[in-house]
Amino acid sequence: MSKGLAILTSGGDAAGMNPAVKCCAEYAAQRGYTPYLIYDGLRGMVEDNIVLSSRDLLSGILHRGGTILRSSRCKRFFDFEYRKQAYENLQKRGINHLVVIGGDGSFRALNQFYHDFGVPFAGIPATIDNDIAGTDYCLGVDTALNVIRSSIDSIRDTASSFSRAFVIEVMGRHCGYLALSSALSSGAEICLVPEVPYNLDQIGARLKMEIDDGRRYVLAIVAEGTQMASYLTRWINDSIGMEARLTILGHVQRGGSPTVHDRVMAYKFSIAAIDALDAGLTDAIMVYRDGSYNHLPIHSVADAKYVLDPLLLRLAGPLGN
């Protein structure tokens, strides 16, 4: 029986995807699979943008950010006829295993594909939002945090030079992990995230006391899910009386060469994914919890809500009050 295995990246790009692609393809070949690469995510499956993996295609990608396989949004994949077309594209090459590197939306799509046509898949969590249930870590998070840290350090220089307040909006959708971690590691005075109630009156009273005591600038980290960045900037100007500026970091957070941590995590997740398929698992999502690598069935991930680390919330709690 043919042992074709195809790798795709889907959803938002994240540093660490390329090391994962490289390791999956190389380790799959060692385990007796014939590895293929699917370009353009789910759309590439439908449009038959599938090629046999080769040393040339994998060479020199380890240090690159984003994904060389590219990604896409594909509404057609939710139509059975297009999923059938994707299945036929796999069948003619003898591909009967899939590895998807992405987020929970991508995992759900492949799970539907598995139930339709019986093609087993393994999922590797990759999103800078770090919002996938069941795992403490997703590929791309460490690189994104380092990009944010570097940006905040630069902003602090000008904030202190002009005695200003800077509000810095970071990504994360509806998850405050990036904001909380960045606020703690940068020594910010304010942190607003969707998961924690905040009290601007208490924040204002605290900041006024600190300014009277000698504080000359303020850093505020705001998660995009709060939609509070612009309002908070105006509020600091009006209520605190300190000149404030807003910086929205945006998609710069997704880019950059993956850190050592993301490269190593990519390798460990990838080996676990191939081993899971080799063991006969059909819908396994790789996870990292409490220092250990494991896997969970898709329903345990897709049907659960990600919960922030309680200790992280406790440490950052005073920044919202």
User: DSSP letters of 198-236?
Assistant: --HHHHHHHHHHHHHTT---EEEEEEGGG--HHHHHHHI
Query: 297-305 — which CB contacts under 8 Å span 24+ positions?
Result: 298/107, 298/108, 298/111, 298/123, 300/133, 300/134, 301/104, 301/107, 301/123, 301/132, 301/133, 301/134, 301/135, 302/104, 302/107, 302/108, 302/111, 302/133, 304/133, 304/134, 305/133
Check if 40 is active-site.
no
Report which residue type is found at 167.
Answer: V
**CA 64/CA 257 separation, integer angstroms:** 5
Q: What is the CA radius of gyration of the chain?
A: 22
pLDDT tens, residue by residue, 15-31 = 999 999 999 999 999 99
User: Given a cut of 90, is residue 139 above it in pLDDT?
Assistant: yes
The answer regarding whether domain 4-140+258-305 maps to CATH 3.40.50.450 reads yes
pLDDT computed for residue 145 by the predictor:
98
∠282-283-288 over CA atoms, to 5°?
A: 120
**Where residue 1 falls among pLDDT bands split at 50, 70, 90?**
low
Residue ranges per structural domain of the chain = 4-140+258-305, 141-254
Q: pLDDT tens for residues 297-321?
A: 998 998 888 999 999 999 988 999 8
- Give 102's strand partners: 125
Q: Which CATH architecture has domain 141-254?
A: 3-Layer(aba) Sandwich (3.40)
pLDDT tens-digit profile of 155-201?
999 999 999 999 999 999 899 999 999 999 999 999 999 999 999 99
pLDDT at residue 2 greater than cutoff 90 = no
Q: From the candidates 40, 129, 142, 283, give the one annotated as an active-site residue.
A: 129
Q: How far is the C-alpha of 297 from the C-alpha of 286, rounded, in Å?
A: 9
- pTM of the predicted model, to two decimals? 0.95
Domains 4-140+258-305 and 141-254 share a fold: yes
What phi, psi does 142 have (nearest 5°)? Answer: -65, -40
